[in-house]
């Protein structure tokens, strides 16, 4: 049984004071919800403060990116050595990194290997563009991204994959649950091809793209979907808490 995971990607939002307030506002509510793993991914400059606040909490911390080198002359970059001890997860290959910062699958592959080497759990994002979706290329695109990003990586339950159709991110146009479930089943097959049946059954695969408290049930209720990567709605305590709560309820029922 895979434990569902809800991760909030705050992106380039919140200054230090706002991040501290946001996590303080959400912590007591989220700590009271069990049967779901909860992660917040604040901007780098707030990681340390959020990590301090969450000591002893069930709410975990993730980073939004890292550099694949350990240290050196890479002005403006953040190394895995700076993240270890501050966070457990790291989002890699987000479509915004791919689109605006020219991150290729090859770079994502290097970052993924580095994350695992330093004990950080990657949340690997994959997903197709609108034109690819319209041309029926979703499976092909996602398969290509997965195979290239996971090249020569020994897979384990530490890997999380997030299927995020790019046309659904920040647009308010979420995919439908059945479609997302089909793509995610396909992703699990590919993970099985790249590892083993038992490993593929341990890897959690999330849906991301315009998830809110009004549509989370459509995704969390699907058999292949293990939770969500939430952008905009993770900045609103009521939304994020409700998303986590509903996911926990669905998980409880499915275990009955």
CB of 62 to ligand PGA, least distance (A): 12
- Cβ nearer to ligand PGA, comparing 68 with 167: 167
Residues in contact with ligand PGA by CB under 6 A are: 9, 164, 169-170, 208-211, 229-233
- Cβ nearer to ligand PGA, comparing 191 with 228: 228
Residue nearest to ligand PGA (CB): 231
CB of 122 to ligand PGA, least distance (A): 14
CB of 222 to ligand PGA, least distance (A): 17
Angle formed at CA 1 by CA 168 and CA 224, multiple of 5 degrees: 30
43: region left, alpha or beta (phi > 0 left; psi from -120 to 50 alpha): beta
CB of 8 to ligand PGA, least distance (A): 9
What whole-number distance in Å separates Cα of residue 3 and Cα of residue 35? Answer: 7
Active site residues: 94, 164
What whole-number distance in Å separates Cα of residue 84 and Cα of residue 200? Answer: 26
- Cβ nearer to ligand PGA, comparing 87 with 229: 229
The DSSP line for 35-88 is SSEEEEE--HHHHHHHHHHTTT-SEEEEES---SSSSSS-TT---HHHHBTTBS
Tokens (6 digits) for 77: 């970059």
- Cβ nearer to ligand PGA, comparing 108 with 169: 169
């Amino acid at each position: 049984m895979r434990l569902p995971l809800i991760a909030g990607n705050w992106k380039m939002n919140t200054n230090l004071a706002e991040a501290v307030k946001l996590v303080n506002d959400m912590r007591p509510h989220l700590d009271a919800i069990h049967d779901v793993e909860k992660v917040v991914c604040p901007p780098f400059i707030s990681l340390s403060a959020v990590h301090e606040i969450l000591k002893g909490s069930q709410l975990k911390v993730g980073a939004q990116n890292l550099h694949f080198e350990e240290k050196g002359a890479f002005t403006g970059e953040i190394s895995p050595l700076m993240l270890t001890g501050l966070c457990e997860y790291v989002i890699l290959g987000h479509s915004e990194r791919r689109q605006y910062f020219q991150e290729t699958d090859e770079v994502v592959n290097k970052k993924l290997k580095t994350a695992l080497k330093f004990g950080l759990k990657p949340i690997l994002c994959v997903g197709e563009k609108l034109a690819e979706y319209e041309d029926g290329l979703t499976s092909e695109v996602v398969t290509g991204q997965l195979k290239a990003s996971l090249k020569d990586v020994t897979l384990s339950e530490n890997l999380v994959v997030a299927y995020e159709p790019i046309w659904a991110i920040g647009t308010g146009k979420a995919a439908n649950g059945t479609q997302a479930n089909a793509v995610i089943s396909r992703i699990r097959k590919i993970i099985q091809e790249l590892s083993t049946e038992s490993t593929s059954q341990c890897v959690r695969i999330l849906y991301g793209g315009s998830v809110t408290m009004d549509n989370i049930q459509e995704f969390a209720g699907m058999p292949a979907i293990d939770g969500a990567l939430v952008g905009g709605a993770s900045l609103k305590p009521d939304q994020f808490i409700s998303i986590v709560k509903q996911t926990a309820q669905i998980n409880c029922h499915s275990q009955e």
